[in-house]
Amino acid sequence: MHLIHRGIVNKNYKENLLNSFKTSFKKGYGIETDIHATKDGEFVCFHDFTLKRIHKINKSIKNLSYTEILNLTKKNPIPLLKDLLKLSKNKFDLFIEIKPLFSNKLLRKLLYETKKYKKCVFISFKEKNIYRIIKIKRKTKVGLSYSPSTSIKIITKKSKNKDVNCLILDKYFLKSSKINKIKKEKYLPDIFEIYNNLQIPFSYIICPETEMLGVNTIEDFVKIDKIYQKYLVNNFISKGVLIQNPDTCRFSFDTMIQSGAIIESNVVIKKGVKILKDTIIKSFSYLEGVIIRQNASIGPFARIRPNTIISKNVKIGNYVEVKNSYVGDYSSVSHLSYIGDAKIGKKVNVGAGTITCNYDGKQKNKTIIRDGAFIGSNSSLIAPIIINKNAKIAAGSVINKSIPSNYLAIERSKLKLVKKN
């Protein structure tokens, strides 16, 4: 969510007024505003401690009742915080900066007035305000603000407080050289200085802490990897993918899985994988750079390597490796086979132990198996080779020539029987 500092401000809208807040909400922006307490304990949205800069009246907010303030600011009436809360309808993020030091009584009242509004974050340059809020209600969203004079050591120390959700650094601090003195590298806040120097408009968003974690050690990497894997899993499940044991599976940042697919336990999916609907990936399968179309079955213990397309209703069984190949609709490679640099047509059956011998010691060669062919168990197909439509290869054959359509190829050594002494 984007935040607008004190609401949208231009010649038509003044800062911290209801019309500037309303316009910001209409554009989909949240608000950062400042609050003071009046003499009669009302919270008003106003930045300065006095009315002098905006209304040319040198009187302090804390010494005036809200009725007196309204009488002095009739042209641009200062709004109450409760009016801003109602206007937000609990839909927009509100960063509420507490300007003066509030008593415990005022802070309790503030928390009571805002208790129904879950998108409020309280920030302040006065640390006591924030620590008192935490003490009153620990789970309240809070942030600490710092001026340019604050040392890096202090900010680092304060940032370790787990009850503080965010740090607000003054823009002048961000533009200073203090950050770069720690290490000779750029930090995320340097973006503000860079954009400001280039006169490029920018805004910021509120995001969970997990989206801003840094990686400096292997332990950091492992922690973030677990968080990201959980994010991917939740995203797939929300789209109708069944992941049977998510903690044992791994996914890549670009993995695409359609609804109705099933991922069993201990599956590894690397970069460049697309799995279409109603496909099942069985346990201990390893996929990389593959497109798997509808209603296919992969595994268990299958390895599918890059540049492979598995068409719909295909079965790739246990201990099968497929690499740089196309397998056509309704074909089956059920067990213990290697398919490399091959193009397999529709309704082809590849028997157990079949190998496409694609490498001759110098280059990779292509194996083509056309529609309806049947490859018997424990066959070796020495590429380059074409097995034409409806051809059959007898079990145990070593085939080094192309086979015409509708022929049976048998290649075996003659059986010899030797009588034992």
Whose structure tokens read 């992969």? 298
CA angle 172, 175, 180 (to 5 degrees): 130
* DSSP symbols for 94-106: EEEEE-SPPPHHH
Q: Which of 5, 36, 55, 335 is catalytic?
A: 335
- Is 5 tagged catalytic? no
Shortest CA distance to 300 belongs to which of 269, 325, 266?
266
* DSSP symbols for 303-337: EE-SSEEE-TT-EEEET-EEES-EE-TT-EEEES-
What are 80's two structure tokens? 């109450």
Q: How far apart are alpha carbons 49 and 338 in whole angstroms?
A: 78
Asked whether the beta carbons of 253 and 236 are under 8 A apart, the reply is: no
Whose structure tokens read 């054959």? 397
Name the DSSP letter for residue 177: S
Shortest CA distance to 295 belongs to which of 309, 279, 306, 281?
279
Name the DSSP letter for residue 384: S
CA distances from 157 to 50, 149, 150, 151 (A): 33, 15, 12, 10
What are the residue numbers of the active site?
Answer: 335
